[in-house]
Amino acid sequence: MAHAQAAAGHGAPVHATSTGTDNRKLLMWLFLGSECLFFASLIASHLVYRSRQLVPPFPFESEIPIDVYNGLSETVKHMCEDLGNGFADCHGILDIPVTSTSTFVLLFSSLAMVLAVYGAQNGRPMMMKGWLLATIIAGVVFLGFQVYEFRLFAMEGLGLSTNQFGASFFVLTGFHGTHVGVGVLYLMSMLAASFRRNGLGPETGFHIEIAGLYWHFVDIVWIIIFTVVYLIPV
Amino acid sequence: MATTAGTLPQYATNTGLWSWITTVDHKRIGTLYLFTGFIWLLVGGLEAILVRTQLAVPNSTVIDADLYNQLFTMHALTMIFLAIMPMTAAFSNWLIPLMIGARDVAFPRMNALSYWLYFFGGIFLSSGFLFGEAASSGWFAYAPLTTNQYAPGRGMDFYTLGLLILGVSSMVAALNFAVTIINMRAPGMTMMRLPVFIWMTLVISFLLFLALPPLTVALIQLMFDRHFTTHFFIVDGGGDPIMWQHLFWVFGHPEVYILILPAMGIISEVLPTFSRKPLFGYAAMVFAAVAIAFLSWAVWSHHMFTTGLAPVPRAIFSANTMLIGVPTGVKIFNWLGTLYGGSIRFTTAMLFAVSFIPLFTIGGISGVMHSSPPIDSQHQDTYMVVAHIHYVLVTGALIGVFSGLFYWFPKMFGRMLDEGLGKWQFWLFFIGVNLAFFPMHFLGLAGMPRRIYTYDAGLGWDFWNMVSTIGAYVIGVSVLVFIWNFFKTMSKPMDQPNNPWGAPTLEWATSSPPPEHDFDVVPVVRARDPLWYDRDHGLEQPQPTGHEHIHIPPPSYYPIVMSFGVLLMAVGVTTSLAVTALGIPIVIYSVWGWALEPTS
């Protein structure tokens, strides 16, 4: 109680908080907690739906009865091959090497973000700007990979209405991509603002650190999505 | 005293429409929440009166089946999302800074944003009535009633997008409240000295920002089903209607506690004040609420006992549901312990608070009955369930709101609501709710299904339906008495002292109504129930020592602009995507304007 009363002095700084953590940082942490439940719901939906495909394209290689094969529309029939034993073999649509590459790019962006925060907190504005730019470029490259992947899947015949894998895959990875896109806009705003006469002001390190929290969260979620969607077979 | 900063000038006098539109003052936002919520309470009440009028006699044709479906759906949505949650948010807005000894919430502009999102979201959700196609699939909107095949028209679009907007509003408010309570307490206000109402607000804030995302995902999937050809909940394409129920109730059950815990917090403030003794078992009260919140995550499937769950999950969810009765019982006995031996004053606020205890217990006990799967499969979709939810939400949540209104009215408006009219209102309300809702137990056990728009004579339901309808009208009259009381009181001069009730908590240490900066000097908290401690130990709150610079956040129009952009994005889905495209740059513009707006 004694120290609490000492803090009541009139000269207490504006930003003094009960826990010592800045309000804005606490807000970001609580928001990210909420985001965990958001992605958890999307991933759970994907887990429920991804093994309930009636028609290809399937995420992983699978066999289907020949009468199902014969009833397929031409847009997806090319994915499968009649084995002649009453079954048809359909190849999986996921291209793991390509997505591993984009995953690596996104993981690299987290390293770049760490270095940008280091630069911002240690009074090295050029280091901060350079690594912010690198983070942004890596984020955009990741989004480019995602556009490429979506286009490829669409050309192979996978749409939102094709099967439950398509619906839950596009909604899950689409919302993750949207988060990366918002992060890119966020970091670009920070980078642009840092070129103003006063830069980001006396709290530069703090602002970049908060942006970094968001960026790292989006990356961590991708690690889980990549593992669950691409690496663990149905 | 106040600084001139920000995009807008700080007004010398805070009057006029513009000052309300741009306000970031937590008290004004609380008042806005209160009035908007009360207007929606009247709308929802009118919907209920129409429903009860239709059901008063067998084979009634007052309204047709389609309108009936819209009315019962919108009644639930209006009462839950537009009336009770916002009215409890009004108390949270008003009281969090005052009770913890802060000058405002942590993020004043976000506070305004959550109000304006609620304002526009409420209008959007209900606007379906203007086109004769409000949502009509029930408030939990089970698939496949919500698919394009069974719900053509735009009713379900008003539902999905309206709830998405309201969800963002609640998220913003919950994050703001949580940060404020954790981080902005006055010196000496440790967590275990927080008023119980503030604890309840903190608990429901965590419930809100963790429970809303599953609902958001469910609504997004429903929107994709309706507009973008997916089959998440459509069986023909491999979808699973039960998945909607899981996602909805993962949100929906914590939501029940989001509605009731603030009311429990309110009566935990009212009972000690009018018993003139501290709350019995403060720590048990707090831990019970945290236990309820924790368990509320593990009971959602008790809404789904008849969907063919396996025996083991049924047993687990049943046991968890019964377990939640334990912390709830702890709370009930602690309130009784508070009353026991107290020097009780039966003011109107106290009457509402005391009646909460037995009436809520009735709802709680029928809840424990439903937690048993074999009994639940008999009660499922009957009026028994309707009776349960109304005993919990009307004689629980709403009675708490009325208790709080009578209790804090002097603090908010500087005037005392008329006690004579208040007692008339209380007794009309008490008789009305029991007439309206107790017979629903009998109707449910007699097999009357919920959501039927009429019924044949001779099924044994005629008498109790008539009684229930009379009860609904009596509740309506009691609310009219309250409105009369409000206008009568507001015509009187502001004459209330700081602490007319002799209450123990910090909000009564400042003037009634409080100045814009809440406290002239940041108060010091030396114990739980700080004002009683000071009184009993002959201590004083610190007085102003001369000129002190008090920072007041400047008003801002970005919250309403951003909310309007969000509204356009939703309107576009029901009209033309060009409108959505117009909304997006408005939102982005206001984010940037907001970030660059000077606040000090």
- pLDDT, tens only, B362-418: 999 999 999 999 999 999 999 999 999 999 999 999 999 999 999 999 999 999 999
Q: Does B217 touch chain A (CB under 8 A)?
A: yes
Predicted confidence (pLDDT) at residue B6 exceeds the cutoff of 90 = no
**pLDDT tens-place values along chain A, 234 residues long:** 333 333 333 333 445 899 999 999 999 999 999 999 999 999 999 999 988 887 888 898 888 899 888 888 888 888 888 888 889 999 899 999 999 999 999 999 999 999 999 999 999 999 999 999 999 999 999 999 999 999 999 999 999 998 999 999 999 999 999 999 999 999 999 999 999 988 888 899 999 999 999 999 999 999 999 999 999 987
Per-domain boundaries in chain A:
36-51+94-231
Instruction: Count Cβ atoms within 10 A of the Cβ of residue B545 and give its class: 0-12 exposed, 13-18 middle, 19 or more buried.
Output: exposed
CA distance B326 to chain A (A): 27
The enclosing domain of B405 has a CATH number of 1.20.210.10
Contact B218 A167 (CB under 8 A): no
Minimal CA–CA distance to B268: which of B343, B194, B186, B362? B194
- pLDDT, tens only, B454-510: 999 999 999 999 999 999 999 999 999 999 999 999 999 999 999 999 999 999 999
- pLDDT bin (cut points 50, 70, 90) of residue B236 is confident
Token duo for residue A186: 């966020």
Which one of B178, B217, B600 has the shortest CB-CB distance to A30? B178
Residue B238 belongs to some domain of the structure: yes
B129-141: string of b/e by CB count within 10 Å (b at 16+)? beeebbbbbbbeb
- pLDDT, tens only, B323-370: 999 999 999 999 999 999 999 999 999 999 999 999 999 999 999 999
- Please give the pLDDT value at position A74: 85
B257 is catalytic: yes
User: Would you call A92 helix, strand, or coil by DSSP?
Assistant: strand
- pLDDT, tens only, B141-194: 998 899 999 999 899 999 999 999 999 999 999 999 999 999 999 999 999 999
Contact B600 A14 (CB under 8 A): yes
Q: Count CA atoms closer than 13 A to A25's CA, side-chain side.
A: 15
Q: Does B410 touch chain A (CB under 8 A)?
A: no
How many domains would you assign to chain B?
A: 1
Residue B9 belongs to some domain of the structure: no
- pLDDT, tens only, B102-138: 989 999 999 999 999 999 999 999 999 998 889 999 9
- pLDDT, tens only, B45-75: 999 999 999 999 999 999 999 999 999 999 9
Instruction: Count Cβ atoms within 10 A of the Cβ of residue A9 and give its class: 0-12 exposed, 13-18 middle, 19 or more buried.
Output: exposed
- Does the model's pTM come out above 0.90? yes
Predicted confidence (pLDDT) at residue B546 exceeds the cutoff of 80 = no
Q: What mean pLDDT is reported for chain B? A: 93
Q: What is the spatial distance between Cα B34 and Cα A100, in angstroms, rounded to a whole number?
A: 53
Q: What is the ipTM of this complex?
A: 0.94
Which one of B210, B545, B551 has the shortest CB-CB distance to A34? B210
Contact A34 B209 (CB under 8 A): yes
B450 is catalytic: yes
- pLDDT bin (cut points 50, 70, 90) of residue B439 is very high
Minimal CA–CA distance to A49: which of B157, B247, B248, B219? B247
- Please give the pLDDT value at position B4: 41
Q: What is the spatial distance between Cα B293 and Cα B357, in angstroms, rounded to a whole number?
A: 20
Of the candidates B126, B137, B318, B328, the residue annotated as catalytic is: B328
For chain B, how big is the Rg over CA atoms in Å? 24
Predicted confidence (pLDDT) at residue B10 exceeds the cutoff of 60 = no
- Between CA A68 and CA A78, with CA A72 as vertex, the angle to 5 degrees is 115
Residues of chain A neighbouring B595 (CB-CB closer than 8 A): 189
- Please give the pLDDT value at position A50: 85
Q: What is the spatial distance between Cα B515 and Cα B550, in angstroms, rounded to a whole number?
A: 12
Q: What is the spatial distance between Cα A52 and Cα A165, in angstroms, rounded to a whole number?
A: 8
- pLDDT, tens only, B158-168: 999 999 999 99
- pLDDT bin (cut points 50, 70, 90) of residue B306 is very high
Give the architecture-level CATH label for domain A36-51+94-231. Up-down Bundle (1.20)
Residues of chain A neighbouring B250 (CB-CB closer than 8 A): 41
Instruction: Count Cβ atoms within 10 A of the Cβ of residue A172 and give its class: 0-12 exposed, 13-18 middle, 19 or more buried.
Output: buried
Predicted confidence (pLDDT) at residue B1 exceeds the cutoff of 70 = no
* CB-based contacts of A17-21 (< 8 A; 24+ apart in sequence): A17/B183, A17/B184, A18/B182, A18/B183, A18/B184, A18/B185, A18/B189, A19/B182, A19/B183, A21/B183
B170 is catalytic: yes
- pLDDT bin (cut points 50, 70, 90) of residue B84 is very high
Residue B62 belongs to some domain of the structure: yes
Which one of A1, A175, A185 has the shortest CB-CB distance to B188? A1
Cα end-to-end span (Å), chain B:
13
DSSP-assigned beta bridge partners for residue A82 = A88
Give the mean model confidence (pLDDT) for residues B556-562.
95
Of the candidates B253, B370, B411, B528, the residue annotated as catalytic is: B253
The percent of residues in chain B predicted with pLDDT above 70, rounded, is: 97
DSSP summary character for residue A108: H
